Structure 1
């Protein structure tokens, strides 16, 4: 919650609060590639929860994961991106199903470079 409040205080006025599990989805209209978003993300990075091993919490990666989750949702796959750098799947999501695979392929371009499945 503190990260979301900080992002808003640094000019990303429509940055969402995380849900009850700590996951957030960037709404349409937030561009994580803008200088303002990037500056806010750097200023607020220290407020991110402890990511633990294997989780990616750089602001640009969180934004990319949130965009990926939003894209997957638009393709009918109930996925959330957490402020801790993890993706969460609703029960019943089958990552091996043809529908999931097609959605993931369509949204793959949004996975940040350097993350598993991301651009090289």
Structure 2
């Protein structure tokens, strides 16, 4: 996985490649200066389900569940509830770059705190 390799190369040498469908390494301190620096350096290859920012800390589990239910009712039927860490682990079929996903995300913005990043990855540098 490009993100894991990039994080290792940018100061977190113990960062493991996640198994398919598994959560990101629980043993990593995501608030450590080393990880934050590496994550910033690797943001262009960061997989969507792992995006985090300060707004996420203000997003309650109840509101995340409302967001998930909204996404399901607006065209992404397999959108998951948040896991125990509060992250949404998307299936490979739940592609954030599809028109259906974009439409659902726009319809469900009211369930996100201000400043929450879109799950739709930017395509800068890609063709």
The TM-score range, normalised by the shorter chain, is: 0.3 to 0.5
TM-score in terms of structure 2 length: 0.43
- TM-score, with structure 1 as normaliser: 0.45
Higher strand share: 1
Structure having the higher Rg: 2
